[in-house]
A and B are shown apart, each in its own frame.
Chain A
Amino acid sequence: MKHRMIVAGLAGLAALSLVGCSVGSEVDDATSTGVPDTSDPSASTDASTGTDSGYTLTPKDLDGDGLITVGFAQVGAESGWRTANTDSYKEYFVEENGFKLVFADANQDADKQKQDVRDLISQGVELIDLAPVTDSGWEPVLQEAKDAGIPLIISDRQLSVPEDLYLTYFGGDMRAEGDRVVDWIKSYAADQGITDPINVVHLQGTMGSSAQKGRSEALSVGAPANDWNVVYEQTGEFTQAKGQEVMESFLQQGKDFNVIYSENDDMTYGAIDALVAHGLDPKDYIIASFDGNKSAVQMVVDGTIDVIGECDPLLGPQVGELIKQAAAGETIAKITYSTEGLIDSTNAADKVTTAFGS
């Protein structure tokens, strides 16, 4: 009996995936008849156009209290970026702006976060904003939200799930952030006339998060293209303590390096501490970081950090605007990237006053 059920399930899955691969145009037909088929997981239109993906849920005030209740499933509080991100939601999603916020903190635990989203569904929130811890295994949970008629927005970190499972993605383009930093290092090395081989220490974020994947991908493509050696690659899990510990253990190996590519500011602080404790001067190295916390931007002003790939954490108001647009019946793109750039010695002094966090 059990076996038969498994076989049936597998067959069903295979059938679904076949549909998903082959027919994209039929979805349009289904929606145009005016009968939205919510159980059809087959929608896959091009991400860049993203006008119609078979996702018909829009944010509505269902309980009639004049406010849209937003459930926010947040990653945790692992870094300054994250707390600034959380604060921007807590400040924006208030009654004056037409919202009510239910906040769920996953403590960086992917399994807990799936439970968090299920809790939000059963609490009957009117929209869910999900900032996923890692990007795997989300289909069933997203399907549950969809079946419950709750529109879902993915923010900050991207998910590789069928597009008909969510309303929109909003956040930074992690790969582009990485590419910008890699290009900066390349031209900086050329400007400085550095002829020594470029040896990069790569401190990675939480493995499997889209920020880690995008930023690591940029380096793993950029390093061989520019003849750089990645001499050490280790995850510091986006925390200062871990960043310090793994940098320490690298320094013990006594290998040569001249570039540190650290995927967030907190790990960069840790790495710099490790350098100083080891009797090395951080200014002797090219240090590249990501995010742009106030302390980190100040370090660019001081010359300790050389470049930061900006990543805007103040997503709350921007997501709020998107929700209002969608509620008003406007079509919104499947992916919207926040505007980001680079921070280096040329603009750090201007940026430091407006930088987020502490």
Chain B
Amino acid sequence: MTDQHSRWRRLIHSRLFFPLVCLALVLALNVVITMVTTGSPGPFFDINFSNGTINGPLITILNRSSELVILAVGMTIVIASSGGVDISVGAVMALSGAVSVWLLGYGTLADNSYHVASYVVPYGVGLLAAIAVGAICGAWNGLLVAKLRIQAMVATLILFTGGRGLAKVVSEGQITKVDVPSYKFIGNFIQDGSGHNVVPVSTAIFVAAAVVALAGLLLRHSALGMNIQAVGINPKSSRLVGLNSGRVVFFAFVFCGVCAALAGIIATSRIGAVDSSNVGKLLEMDAILAVALGGNSLAGGRFSLAGSVIGAITIQSLTTVLYSVNVSADQLPFYKAIVVVLIVVLQSPELRPMLQRLRRRFRPTAGLRQVVAP
């Protein structure tokens, strides 16, 4: 009894408890709505194998949340170390995608066809170029924040506005399509020559998982995670104990830029085209929200990578759930806002003491009932 009790208590007090509850609530919401409207729970938790792919709403959520998960990982590190946010990630996604496609089709765009029929440089070079662009953008942000001590929001505002414009310059304001089938592999399925899926799960899921695993290992098994927390909690005292606070913050922004580039590669690969004005549009806000939903403080310091990942999946679940109950995409932000308010209130540290006080007030009645009952 007491053992069970303490286990329950440990669960409740785990940092991941509330983010997980929120995710479960969002998923349950879908079942409730479909039950009410159609009378049956619907195929939401179905997973089936057909035509060489594993299908099911839950798989779709995982697949669709890949970009956001990757962005949330980078954003978590930035927030934890600097207490500021990087609002340029959406624009960096567009810029890195645009540069890699420009390089892959270098020279072929001059004929105004805006189709890349074959790679001019190897595909890997294009990918590396995208990642390099992300790293450079991150380094620029990091320089402004860590060295020049400009507030992160203001510093990243420069690329937030300029990055997308630059992406449009690179892609000449056009939507450039890549006709090479392998370009779509990262955002969709790896296929053989005749268009059959070789791997039954979208590659994007693996990329996201790899980023999470890599970041997790790096942060847990090196001093880096500890350093980031220390710098985030108090940069001055961290410096006094010999930590180079500036370097840690700089690293965090570079890492976040690379994450944005990876997300950009996935997003452009999904449609096999670079649409500079729409790639990653408003995704920076969702990434910040994911970190907050994961129970992380936006003031920096202690952080939970797993929390942010759960937060990202929660946001995507909400979108998928609302689509599946036919909420129009342009009304989506409204419903999202309602759920976000609920979730944030649920996670507020003030709420638990408040509930405890309420419970204490009702406890005498509960005791009375125990006496009367037998």
Measured CB to CB, the residues of A under 8 A from B are: 76-80, 83, 86, 107-108, 206-207, 232-237, 239-242, 244-246, 248-254, 266, 269-270, 273, 276-280, 295, 357-358
Q: Which 10 A-B pairs have the closest CB atoms?
A: A279-B51, A249-B323, A358-B114, A240-B271, A207-B330, A252-B57, A235-B329, A77-B277, A239-B278, A83-B174
B113 and A358 form a contact (CB under 8 A): yes
- Which residues of the other chain, A, contact B188 by a CB distance below 8 angstroms? 273, 277
Name 27 A/B residue pairs within 8 A (Cβ), A-sorted. A76-B277, A77-B168, A77-B173, A77-B175, A77-B276, A80-B175, A206-B330, A207-B330, A233-B326, A237-B330, A239-B278, A241-B267, A241-B278, A241-B279, A244-B270, A249-B57, A249-B324, A251-B55, A252-B56, A273-B272, A278-B51, A278-B53, A278-B55, A279-B197, A295-B177, A358-B113, A358-B177
Interface membership of B41, Cβ < 8 A: no
Interface membership of B52, Cβ < 8 A: yes
Q: B189's contact among A207, A237, A277, by CB below 8 Å, is which?
A: A277
- Which residues of the other chain, B, contact A253 by a CB distance below 8 angstroms? 42-43, 324
Interface membership of B320, Cβ < 8 A: yes
Q: How far is the CA of A237 from the CA of B331 in the complex (A)?
A: 12
- Which residues of the other chain, A, contact B56 by a CB distance below 8 angstroms? 252
Q: CB-defined interface of B301-344 with A at 8 Å, one 1/0 digit per residue?
A: 00000000000000000001001101011100000000000000
- Which residues of the other chain, A, contact B53 by a CB distance below 8 angstroms? 277-279
Interface membership of B353, Cβ < 8 A: no
Q: B271's contact among A244, A276, A278, by CB below 8 Å, is which?
A: A244
Question: 18 extra interchain contacts, Cβ-Cβ under 8 A, other than A244-B270, A273-B270?
Answer: A77-B277, A83-B174, A206-B330, A207-B328, A233-B326, A235-B329, A235-B330, A241-B278, A244-B271, A246-B323, A252-B55, A253-B42, A253-B324, A273-B272, A278-B55, A358-B113, A358-B175, A358-B177
- Closest residue of chain B to A244 (Cβ to Cβ) is B271
Measured CB to CB, the residues of B under 8 A from A are: 42-43, 46, 50-53, 55-57, 60, 64, 112-115, 168, 173-177, 184, 188-189, 195, 197, 202, 267, 270-273, 275-279, 320, 323-324, 326, 328-330
- Which residues of the other chain, A, contact B50 by a CB distance below 8 angstroms? 279
B64 and A78 form a contact (CB under 8 A): no
Q: How far is the CA of A268 from the CA of B16 in the complex (A)?
A: 40
A78 and B278 form a contact (CB under 8 A): yes
Q: How far is the CA of A321 from the CA of B189 in the complex (A)?
A: 49
- Which residues of the other chain, B, contact A80 by a CB distance below 8 angstroms? 174-175
Shortest C-beta distance, A89 to chain B (Å), equals 12
**A245-B64, A249-B323, A279-B197 are contacts. A235–B277 as well, Cβ < 8 Å?**
no
A254 and B43 form a contact (CB under 8 A): yes
- Which residues of the other chain, A, contact B323 by a CB distance below 8 angstroms? 234, 245-246, 249-250
A107 and B55 form a contact (CB under 8 A): no
B329 and A237 form a contact (CB under 8 A): yes
**A83-B173, A236-B329, A241-B267 are contacts. A280–B51 as well, Cβ < 8 Å?**
yes
Q: How far is the CA of A110 from the CA of B83 in the complex (A)?
A: 34
Most chain A beta carbons < 10 A, residue from B176, B271, B279:
B271
Number of A-B contacts (CB under 8 A): 108
B173 and A86 form a contact (CB under 8 A): yes
Q: How far is the CA of A242 from the CA of B328 in the complex (A)?
A: 12
Shortest C-beta distance, A78 to chain B (Å), equals 6
Q: How far is the CA of A107 from the CA of B94 in the complex (A)?
A: 14
A358 and B328 form a contact (CB under 8 A): no
- Which residues of the other chain, B, contact A276 by a CB distance below 8 angstroms? 195
B324 and A241 form a contact (CB under 8 A): no
- Closest residue of chain A to B174 (Cβ to Cβ) is A83
- Closest residue of chain B to A240 (Cβ to Cβ) is B271
Q: How far is the CA of A76 from the CA of B277 in the complex (A)?
A: 8
- Which residues of the other chain, B, contact A254 by a CB distance below 8 angstroms? 43, 46
Q: How far is the CA of A241 from the CA of B275 in the complex (A)?
A: 9
- Which residues of the other chain, A, contact B320 by a CB distance below 8 angstroms? 249, 252
Q: How far is the CA of A357 from the CA of B188 in the complex (A)?
A: 25
Shortest C-beta distance, B51 to chain A (Å), equals 2
Q: B270's contact among A77, A241, A280, by CB below 8 Å, is which?
A: A241
- Which residues of the other chain, A, contact B328 by a CB distance below 8 angstroms? 207, 234-235
B52 and A279 form a contact (CB under 8 A): yes
- Closest residue of chain A to B320 (Cβ to Cβ) is A249
- Closest residue of chain A to B330 (Cβ to Cβ) is A207
- Which residues of the other chain, A, contact B184 by a CB distance below 8 angstroms? 273
Q: B277's contact among A108, A232, A236, A270, by CB below 8 Å, is which?
A: A108
- Which residues of the other chain, B, contact A237 by a CB distance below 8 angstroms? 329-330
Shortest C-beta distance, A276 to chain B (Å), equals 7
Q: How far is the CA of A358 from the CA of B105 in the complex (A)?
A: 14
Q: How far is the CA of A234 from the CA of B329 in the complex (A)?
A: 7
- Closest residue of chain B to A80 (Cβ to Cβ) is B175
Q: How far is the CA of A266 from the CA of B174 in the complex (A)?
A: 13
Q: How far is the CA of A249 from the CA of B42 in the complex (A)?
A: 13
- Closest residue of chain A to B279 (Cβ to Cβ) is A241
Q: How far is the CA of A186 from the CA of B46 in the complex (A)?
A: 35
B329 and A242 form a contact (CB under 8 A): yes
